Structure 1
Amino acid sequence: MPQPLALLIGAVRRGDARWIGYLFASVLALGCDAGLFLLLLGTGLEPVAASALGYGLGIAVHWLVSSRLVFADSAAARGTGERQRQKMLFVGSALAGLAVTTAVVGLGIGWGLDPRIAKLAAIAISFQTTYLLRRHIVFRPGRA
């Protein structure tokens, strides 16, 4: 069974609603990222700029869903310094996810894997990495 599917089935069996909600937030953010990327490409914008803007929208969408639904019980109150700290840590975790993705794809290609397979592995590893960072650091229970 593929690893992402096994993780989803395990989360459902454990009743891990937070992990499933995070998966939903990630899929939604990825859809917004890719959608804006394709839209901007269609307007003639350079691919690198379109990619960066799409990624930025994905981070914003993920923050909104994560802070209001997935981790609402441990998100700091709006307008506070703690909320600003959480936002900065959230962006930091997104950059960590980007670094993990880049490293996994690079290693995969170096090992002779098809880049698409390497990217699929990177998505799964980056997803779990950012989930753990956000659950245990950004939205650490009892901190807000």
Structure 2
Amino acid sequence: MQFAAHILSRLRDIRFVRYLLASVGALAVDMGAFLALLGIGMAPAPSSAVGYSLGILAHWLMSSRAVFHDSVARKGFARTRQKALFVISALLGLGLTTAIVGFGDMAGIDPRIAKLVAIGVSFMATWLVRSRIVFRAAITGHEGA
């Protein structure tokens, strides 16, 4: 109940709504690749990793242009640092996703169900890291952080 109340309160934050929409777009890329790779016989964990990796690229493009556009570092070291932090946050999500799908598969759980659980866990973890660390200038008001 408290988690649902927290999510509803975050919906009032337009940045969170834009992040949610960007995540849905990235998820479409991720799941499309995941299901296609499962369909051609690739194992669930690697399929999940490849799909998530393609989703990372889509998410950076949407996040830097529509979600955190006001806090994207312009150029130079600050921009490189921000991209590196974004990739690190994505790797956190990738690790969580791959582990959850892999453990689910070993436990005999349908990989699509395990992937759904992984989506929720990864979404919240990456939102926290990206909103508080990667794009913190949007919150603190400091350019290029």
TM-score band by shorter chain is: 0.7 to 0.9
Equivalent residue number for residue 86 of structure 2: 90
Q: Secondary structure at the match of 1:127?
A: helix
For 2:38 and 2:114, the matched residues in 1 are separated by 24
CA shift at 1:21, angstroms?
A: 0.8
> Contact 1:25–1:62 at 8 Å: present in 2 too?
yes
Aligned position for 2:8: 9
Deviation per residue, 1:66-109 (Å, 9 max, x gap) = 011101111101x4221111111111101111223345557778
Contact 2:49 2:98 in 1 (8 A): no
* Overall identity of the aligned pairs, in %: 51
CA distance in 1 between counterparts of 2:33 and 2:113 reads: 24
CA–CA distance in structure 1, aligned partners of residues 123 and 6 of structure 2: 11
Q: 1:47 aligned to 32, 42, 49, which one?
A: 42
For the residues of structure 2 that align with 1:73 and 1:90, how far apart are their CA atoms? 16
Unaligned runs of 5+ in 2: none
In the alignment, structure 1 residue 123 sits paired with structure 2 residue 116: no
User: Which ranges in structure 1 are unaligned for 5 or more consecutive residues?
Assistant: none
TM-score (norm 2): 0.72
Measured at CA, do residues 9 and 93 of structure 1 come closer, stay the same or move farther in structure 2, by a change above 3 Å? Answer: same
Number of residues of Structure 1 aligned to a counterpart in Structure 2: 137
* Equivalent residue runs for 1:1-144 within 5 Å: 6-12=5-11, 15-39=12-36, 47=42, 51-77=48-74, 79-104=75-100, 114=109, 118-141=114-137, 142-144=142-144
CA RMSD of aligned residues (A): 3.3
One-letter code aligned to 1:71: F
- Asked whether the 8 Å contact 1:8–1:20 carries over to 2, the reply is no
Structure 2 contact 27–55 (Cα < 8 Å) conserved: yes
